[in-house]
Amino acid sequence: MSGHLFVAEGVGQRYGARIALDNVGFTLAPGQMLALLGPSGAGKTTLFRCLAGLQQPDSGRVALDGRDVASLRGRERRRIGLVFQQFNLVGRLSALDNVLAGRLGHVPAWRGWLRTFDAADLALAHSCLDRVGLSGHADQRADTLSGGQQQRVAIARALAQQPDVIIADEPVASLDPGSGAGILELLKSICHADGLAVVCSLHQPEYARRYADRVLGLRAGRVVVDVAAADFGPAQQDTLYDGLLHDTGLAP
């Protein structure tokens, strides 16, 4: 397992008689971006929750640097940064204040309650906004930003945690193609430059090929594709989607 930062081993999850995940596994090295693909109902959301430590799988485990993510508590959870489809920002707060929420795992609780951060935290938050191209929007209310800008704020917030892994749940599903491509290019550049592991669930195979290093495909809760992004072609796409994209003319 040497060199593997983020590992899923035999992850299984049931909801009553329905199997949501069946023996799902993969390994991810620092600086590697994994795209998670699959049709609706394939188990991507359940896997996201298990990877993020938001739910304990029925079997198997997810480990970050050898630690079971389900065992991470308090400030240890800052090692996993989360990016959501609907941004999860506080609309009435500024972009800067939303990014500073990423520092809550690093500061005393009273600072978070009063939103009182020291100069180092403020400098880091400004740096994170600059990195996502929003240095001029620090004082702007989050709910007045465009969708693409709000997602960039969410990524800056995750960066402010100084995590080891970022897990993004369909981060471009609510965005137009241009904004979505920009978000994925940003995640890719952060992954490679900072040596983070990134898991990004997507609905667009062409984005997976263009921006990810590896593609993991789920169908009916099982891994049916696990290849380098460059090797994700029509055959793998058909295995994953039953030829649906080709039949509808949506395949590239």
Listed by start position, the domains of the chain span 6-89+165-247
For residue 201, give the 3-state DSSP assignment. Answer: strand
Residue 73 pLDDT: 82
Alpha-carbon distance of 86 to 147, in angstroms, equals 9
Confidence of residue 108 (pLDDT cuts 50, 70, 90): low
| CATH code of the domain made up of 6-89+165-247 | 3.40.50.300
Q: How far apart are the first and last CA of the chain?
A: 36
The residues facing 39 across adjacent strands are none
The residues facing 21 across adjacent strands are 13
pLDDT digits (tens, 9 = 90+) for 56-78: 999 999 999 999 998 888 778 88
Q: How many helices (H) and strands (E) does the chain have?
A: 9, 10
For residue 63, give the 3-state DSSP assignment. Answer: strand
Pairing verdict, β 197-201 and 165-169: parallel
Q: Is the pLDDT of residue 111 over 80?
A: no
Confidence of residue 246 (pLDDT cuts 50, 70, 90): very low
Q: Is the pLDDT of residue 2 over 50?
A: no
| Token representation of residue 210 | 């263009």
